[in-house]
Chain A
Amino acid sequence: MNDFETIGKSVNKIDALALATGQPVFTDDISFPNTLQIKLLYSPHAHAIIEDIDTSEAEKLPGVKMILTYKNTPQVLHTTAGQGWPEPSPYDTCMFNSKVRYVGDRVAAVIAESEEIASSALKLIKVKYNALPHIFDAEEAMKDGATVIHDEKGISGVYDSKRNLVAHVEVRAGNLEKGFEQSDIIVENTFETQYAQHCPIEPHVALSYLDDYGRIIIRTSTQVPFHVRRIVAQSLDIPVQQIRVIKPRIGGGFGVKQEIILEEICAYVTLKTGRPARILYSREEEFISARTRHPMKITVKIGAKKDGMFNAIKMYALSNTGAYGTHGLTVVSNAGSKTLPLYNKAPNVEFIADVVYTNLPVAGAYRGYGATQGYASLEQAIDILAEKLNMDPVELRKKNHIRKGETSPIFQALGEGREGVTQHVQSEVIDKLIELGTKEISWHEKWRQKKRTGSKVRGVGMSLHMQGSGIPLVDMGAASIKLNEDGSVNLLYGGTDIGTGLDTVAAQIVGETLGIKPEQVIIYASDTDMTPFDVGAYASSGTFISGGAVLNASLKVRDQIIEVAKEMFGEFNSNEFILKDGKVTSPRSSKSVTISEIAYQTLYVKNHHQIMAINSFVSPYSPPPFAANFVEVEVDEDTGIVTPIKYVAVVDCGVAINPELAKGQVIGAVVNGIGYALTEDYKFGDNGKMLNPNFMEYRIPSSRDIPEIVPIFVETYEPTGPYGAKSVAEIGINGPIPSIGNAIYDAVGIRLHSTPYTPMKVLKALEERR
């Protein structure tokens, strides 16, 4: 569609070979002599006041350097959310608190010469708890007389702490009551999604040490190096200037490494002792004490005319943020803001949400960010409506989805903890996505056919989705580029590649703009001393925001190169130059000079200067990628086992700058979503303790669990994105719950109202149906 040299080509991921040959590129692959090891003590209670901590025995153990508790650490209320400033999450936690609010809340840290000594010392700490009544149920949390989870002095950003209400959202457009009155058919669906963990194969890990000037260097597995610097400075009450954060290669994030959980403790130890310090979560700690997805209960009510046109949509979301309010408001807002605009034909819309504290693990950002939970309910409600209207659910969606040039009042009304920004959709693509998906899954041959082989019945289901590309007018990235003698460039930027391939995409953008090969772009990224700012890797912002900054910096460098070429060609009035194959060419005179020659000219010969530029990118736009997902499942009526057979994800991410990487994002997200739909779940004991914090009992998909997966890209050109691109990393995770749910219904006529879709739930529903 476009005549690009490197955009749209699957160049190899630039760090892939280093990773495939085991180079020491991860946080924990380097170590320093004399490093102190940190281990954490966790609360066995769901809700308790710490009456006293006696660390004297533990301190006596040889090799123990110090023990940290709320008594000897800064009591600065902050949020661990790792968001931009000012954060839309409440300031409701300190490094250590004098009250514990869930099993897994941290109580103390032992700092010792070895991990073994630290672990032994943990057992010697004596804590006297005064247990309080606990709340595990989100609905209970809001009731009168419920125990108050956050009653500490000085917390801020909580909507109503006496009612355990972290946030409350109300957004309306049109007249909902009238909308339903004037509808011919009304359906309502309530759907509950569960606790789940991101499970990056590399857990949280941080290493800190002093540089020669006594500044603290933090090498950490993070999605947000610049926010780490700011928030560690805040919680340690030291200047930002005293901290440098370095992000090496990251072993997966998916949202959980947006949280700033370990860095502050590590940095504090280095600050106090002057020695290197290291902290590494075990898999169990990652489950119980990192972050999770917000479990939600969402009711969707749709009113429609006889012809299927939506007239009113009401969504109510109850979100459980666990013991601390990180991402509480914004995740729930996205349950509405990333779903309702997709069906903008309904003139009357209402979105209401409550976010509550409970005494369960802390929820945070997770790929999909609320949209996953919103679509789980909405996309199944639409199928329920289709059946009532006796319509093909595919056709019903076609009537109601948003189209090119259109908007939705929700874009403006519902932002990230503040008002949003109006968006107009730039691509007319959804019908095409649907068409290709129906064809690939053979929808018309399979829907309502209930093909049976013994106890096994097949069914098909589908769902539609959108996401965003960064947070409009909030997310900012910056990049700097300088030219070297051989025509290579150094790109320094804040963009945070956490395994997605962003660095490769950035190299392609620079290469395309300057007419050089992506291999000629030397990248150094996400180091708060060395690179410009970037908000980091979240909100599907990588290609769009960080990539936009890289493009803007490239364009400036391009202008500077052209200025020199003009002089060398003596063509001062021309503005048309072509940068390609490492050369600048004037079409008018056919004169040509290599970019390397230009670099030599400016560095050594005449009018000496360094060709280099820095530029930033922030956008009023957050163009949504779109997706239509289709799945064929097999439901075994004897065992209740649901097996996805084939999964088709048809995606519009604008121009896929690197199709192979985009494909990997979609497939990876779909498989993550299938795990969430079918197996992944926290089991809690009576005291609120997670009982299955390991990969044996918390089952994430393995190679043998995946169906045939067919990703299909429909290319559109997004005018507001770098080289026509928009985002792709999150959208794929939203499809499995609703499309598999709809397919189960198509196969055996049962509608499950919560995930995961376990054999037990299927059998029970089949029983009830009889």
Chain B
Amino acid sequence: MKVKYIMNGGIKEFDIQPGEVLLDVLRRNGYTEIKGNCYMGTCGACAVLINGTPKTTCTTLAAQVDGAEITTIKGIGTITNPSPIQKAFVEKGAVQCGFCTPGTIITAYALLRKNPNPTEEDIKKAIDGNLCRCTGYVQQIEAIKSAAELLKGGENNE
């Protein structure tokens, strides 16, 4: 069967198998910026925004979100035009292996849109589902705080 998503702003059509999860469909179609393979919703590496809310794609049926607006990390900034939050992750040493990074950044991006002044607790709570084995989270939390400052300073969250 076929589904349509608004992928990072553009309409795309995909062939899917019944029962297929979004993670597999999108990775197969070249959205390899989505990571993760726990398939239990436990690592957060596969998170994207579905209609603006961070969701794990490994626990989302592709058919169920037909028509949805999906944003991956490439939808918020690219290597030639990174978003403030991506820049903050780079500057604060928040990227080690970088495998968890897309999921964590997309989650933090959603947090900052909802709450431009998050406390440390808010940040920890938001990225609680994004496991990182490298950083120990401290620099990630600093990066998210710094991104909040950048955004308040007038930089655009896109």
Binding site for B on A (CB under 8 A): 10, 12-13, 15-26, 28-30, 198-203, 249-252, 254, 280, 282-283, 498-501, 660-661, 663-664, 667-672, 694-696, 700-704, 706, 709
Quick check: is B129 within 8 A (CB to CB) of the other chain? yes
A16 contact set on B, CB distance < 8 A: 89-90, 95, 98
A24 and B99 within 8 A (CB): no
Cβ contacts B103-144/A at 8 Å (1 or 0 each): 001000000000000000001110111111111111111000
A22 and B132 within 8 A (CB): no
Given A20-B101, A22-B74, A701-B137, 8 further pairs, Cβ under 8 A? A201-B97, A203-B37, A251-B35, A664-B135, A671-B137, A694-B42, A695-B131, A704-B124
A709 contact set on B, CB distance < 8 A: 136, 138
A701 contact set on B, CB distance < 8 A: 136-137
The CA of A267 and the CA of B32, in the complex, are separated in Å by 24
Minimal Cβ-Cβ distance residue in B for A500:
B96
A694 and B138 within 8 A (CB): no
The CA of A709 and the CA of B124, in the complex, are separated in Å by 14
Minimal Cβ-Cβ distance residue in A for B91:
A12
A498 contact set on B, CB distance < 8 A: 97
B34 contact set on A, CB distance < 8 A: 22
Binding site for A on B (CB under 8 A): 32-40, 42-43, 45, 72-74, 77-79, 82, 86-87, 89-93, 95-102, 105, 123-125, 127-141
B138 and A706 within 8 A (CB): yes
Minimal Cβ-Cβ distance residue in A for B88:
A20
The CA of A21 and the CA of B141, in the complex, are separated in Å by 18
Minimal Cβ-Cβ distance residue in A for B34:
A22
B95 and A670 within 8 A (CB): no
B96 and A499 within 8 A (CB): yes
A501 contact set on B, CB distance < 8 A: 96
Minimal Cβ-Cβ distance residue in B for A666:
B136
A499 and B40 within 8 A (CB): no
B124 contact set on A, CB distance < 8 A: 703-704, 706
Minimal Cβ-Cβ distance residue in A for B73:
A22
The CA of A249 and the CA of B90, in the complex, are separated in Å by 16
Query: CB < 8 Å: which of A15, A22, A499 contacts B134?
Result: A499
B86 and A667 within 8 A (CB): no
B133 and A18 within 8 A (CB): no
The CA of A499 and the CA of B100, in the complex, are separated in Å by 11
The CA of A283 and the CA of B127, in the complex, are separated in Å by 20
B90 contact set on A, CB distance < 8 A: 12-13, 16-17, 20
The CA of A352 and the CA of B46, in the complex, are separated in Å by 47
B98 and A499 within 8 A (CB): yes
B86 and A700 within 8 A (CB): no
Query: CB < 8 Å: which of B89, B134, B139 contacts A663?
Result: B139
A and B contact pairs by CB, cutoff 8 A, 13 listed? A17-B82, A18-B79, A19-B97, A21-B78, A282-B37, A282-B39, A664-B93, A664-B135, A669-B136, A694-B38, A695-B43, A703-B141, A706-B124
Separation in Å of the B64 CB from the closest CB of chain A? 20
The CA of A701 and the CA of B123, in the complex, are separated in Å by 15
B139 contact set on A, CB distance < 8 A: 660, 663-664, 667
The CA of A199 and the CA of B134, in the complex, are separated in Å by 10
Separation in Å of the A644 CB from the closest CB of chain B? 12
Given contact pairs A22-B73, A668-B96, A252 touches B32 in the complex (Cβ within 8 A): no
B96 and A696 within 8 A (CB): no
B141 contact set on A, CB distance < 8 A: 703
Separation in Å of the A264 CB from the closest CB of chain B? 22
The CA of A30 and the CA of B33, in the complex, are separated in Å by 11
